[in-house]
Structure 1
Amino acid sequence: MTEAPTTVRLTRHVAAAPARVWRAWTDADELAAWFWPPSFGTTARVDLRVGGTYRVESTARGMAVSGDVVALEEPHRLVLTWRWDGEDDETLVTVTFAAADGGTDVVVLHERFTSEEDAANHAQGWNDCLDRLVEVGQRTA
């Protein structure tokens, strides 16, 4: 089955255990360290509970994304709403973490885009983010 063009699905293998990769996503300091490039001056906050909120912000770039924690199954699955500051559209991000080949397969499924262009822009951003996450795994392996 082919997913709609308004859905982004990306996979990366990270050379670290699922619990370690989960922490990289859910600990605010760790998330801020890899999510955007270091030059962005990224900060994050995470209230890790269903109904909790998160926010990733770059004051250097004047951008931020935030949302709610919809579901979590530590260290296997994290579901978040996603909204950029200043925008009305809210999308949904599901991240899964599966032990594989001595590390973790991370799958990001980002859904509910209103245009193919928006989905393509987010695919590029997620590719960049996930490449930095892979580097985190290499440093901790």
Structure 2
Amino acid sequence: MDPVVIKRVLPCGKRQLFDAWSKPSLMMKWFFASQKLNSSSTVHNSFTVGGRFEVIMHLETGDYLHHGDYRAIHRYHHIAFTWNSHIVQDSLVELDFKQLSPNRTELTLTHTQFPTDEVRGKHVGGWNGCLDNLELYLTGLNTPSQIG
């Protein structure tokens, strides 16, 4: 089955983008798949190889738990982690960061190991929603005062 591969050029340096994926205090502000958020996500992690993360997205339709283990961390360049949810177990997400200029970084998100095409399709939509929110966060359009 084909992987999900999404490339985005985001308006920030690669250190800022890397921090947005590694610090719970930042992740909670954007890491959700819907534009209609009931409250910020609950995020916990131990950001080390072998460490675990947990993201609970609090959406209109309910609370959704996502969790996994960090498999690789190359500061400001690459993060790999397993991805588990109510519809997929032990899939793999890899993030690659390529700085194009001081305020532009290309993010390549690759997600593999889906059980079905239907589950793969749901993740295309979910990741695009999350990345839309990440871009809003990075441009200052999605601030904590707007969450609630």
TM, length-normalised to structure 2: 0.84
Fraction of identical pairs, as percent: 24
> Are 2:92 and 1:92 aligned?
yes
Structure 1: gaps (5+ residues): none
- Give the counterpart letter for 2:128 in structure 1: N
Q: Equivalent residue for 2:41?
A: 42
* 4+ runs deviating over 3 angstroms: none
Q: Are the counterparts in 1 of residues 87 and 119 from structure 2 also a CA contact under 8 Å?
A: no
Structure 2: gaps (5+ residues): 142-148
Larger helix percent: 1
Alignment of 1:61-80 (within 5 A): 61-80=62-81
Residues 54-63 or 128-137, more deviating: 54-63
- Alignment coverage as a number of residue pairs: 135
Looking at structure 1, the residues matched to 84 and 113 of structure 2 have their Cα atoms a distance apart, in angstroms, of 11
- Give the counterpart letter for 1:19 in structure 2: R
Residue by residue, what CA displacement relative to the aligned partner does 1:41-100 show, whole Å, maximum 9, x if unpaired? 41101111101010101355221100000000011100000111x556210000111101
Looking at structure 2, the residues matched to 88 and 21 of structure 1 have their Cα atoms a distance apart, in angstroms, of 26
Looking at structure 2, the residues matched to 99 and 124 of structure 1 have their Cα atoms a distance apart, in angstroms, of 25
> Are 2:23 and 1:27 aligned?
yes
Residue by residue, what CA displacement relative to the aligned partner does 1:94-135 show, whole Å, maximum 9, x if unpaired? 011110143110111000001111111000000011111111
- Give the counterpart letter for 1:98 in structure 2: K
Correspondent of 2:8 among 12, 18, 34? 12
- Give the counterpart letter for 1:77 in structure 2: H
- Give the counterpart letter for 2:14 in structure 1: P
Q: Equivalent residue for 2:126?
A: 125
Looking at structure 2, the residues matched to 66 and 40 of structure 1 have their Cα atoms a distance apart, in angstroms, of 19
Looking at structure 2, the residues matched to 11 and 134 of structure 1 have their Cα atoms a distance apart, in angstroms, of 13
Residue by residue, what CA displacement relative to the aligned partner does 1:8-63 show, whole Å, maximum 9, x if unpaired? 00011111000001001100010011011542441101111101010101355221
Q: Per the alignment, in what secondary structure is the counterpart of residue 62 of structure 1?
A: strand
Q: Per the alignment, in what secondary structure is the counterpart of residue 122 of structure 2?
A: helix
Looking at structure 1, the residues matched to 111 and 87 of structure 2 have their Cα atoms a distance apart, in angstroms, of 17
